[in-house]
């Protein structure tokens, strides 16, 4: 698992891990923008949830998976960040040997940004819940793509 190496050519998948839902977004093949893909509702079987994510990642022919790291406002690792790192490590083990990297990326404020974006385009509050997680994953992936464009 990596946290800061240069982007590889190929499609990127962003994952926003939530307690109840997992948002998934994908980058276009040129790596210029992120689009919401789907929301995976967590089951009571974390291994099954990870297998579902692996299927989605392979379906998108991804070369890198970007998982949101929910750091505390002061930048420290809280309980949620440690849980995300453990989830990323478990997913990384499932993807090992498939040529797919797993990276953690600071996701502070992604859900807030996604709510604001959906409100700006007039999405009613009641209609945001089914798509907020995938929208947050898209915000996360957009930020990751932008950071890698600046680094190049």
Percent of the chain exceeding pLDDT 70 equals 79
CA-based torsion, 62, 54, 134, 68: positive or negative: negative
Contact 120, 5 (CB under 8 A): no
Helix, strand, coil shares, percent, the chain, to 5:
45, 25, 30
Q: Which region among 55-64, 113-122, 133-142 has the lowest average model confidence (pLDDT)? A: 113-122
Q: Which residue has the higher pLDDT, 151 or 141?
A: 141
In our burial notation (b when 16+ CB lie closer than 10 A, e otherwise), range 49-69 reads: bbebbbebbeebebbbbbbbb
The whole-angstrom distance between residue 61's C-alpha and the CA centroid of its chain comes to 15
Spatial separation of the C-alpha atoms in residues 90 and 72, rounded to whole Å: 22
Pair of tokens at residue 103: 């990276």
Spatial separation of the C-alpha atoms in residues 84 and 79, rounded to whole Å: 9
Most confident option among 58-62, 108-112, 148-152: 58-62
* Backbone region of residue 96 per phi and psi (left: phi > 0; alpha: psi in -120 to 50; beta: other values): beta
Taking the model in full, what pTM does it have? Answer: 0.82
Pick 11-151's CATH classification: 3.50.50.60, 1.10.540.10, 3.40.640.10, 3.30.420.140: 3.30.420.140
Spatial separation of the C-alpha atoms in residues 78 and 64, rounded to whole Å: 25
Strand boundaries in the chain, DSSP class E: 11-17, 21-27, 34-41, 62-69, 101-106
Query: Quick one: pLDDT at residue 83?
Result: 94
């Amino acid at each position: 698992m990596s946290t800061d190496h240069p982007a590889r050519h190929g499609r990127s998948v962003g994952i926003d891990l939530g307690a109840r839902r997992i948002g998934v977004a994908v980058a276009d093949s040129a790596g210029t923008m992120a689009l919401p893909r789907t929301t995976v509702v967590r089951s009571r079987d974390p291994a099954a949830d990870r297998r579902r994510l692996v299927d989605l990642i392979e379906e998108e022919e991804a070369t890198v998976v970007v998982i949101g790291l929910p750091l505390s406002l002061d930048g420290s690792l809280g309980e949620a960040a440690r849980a995300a790192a453990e989830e990323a490590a478990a997913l990384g083990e499932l993807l090992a040997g498939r040529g797919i990297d797993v990276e953690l990326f600071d996701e502070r404020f992604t859900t807030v940004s996604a709510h604001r974006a959906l409100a700006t385009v007039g999405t009613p509050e009641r209609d945001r819940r089914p798509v907020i997680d995938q929208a947050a994953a898209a915000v996360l992936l957009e930020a990751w793509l932008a950071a890698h464009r600046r680094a190049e």
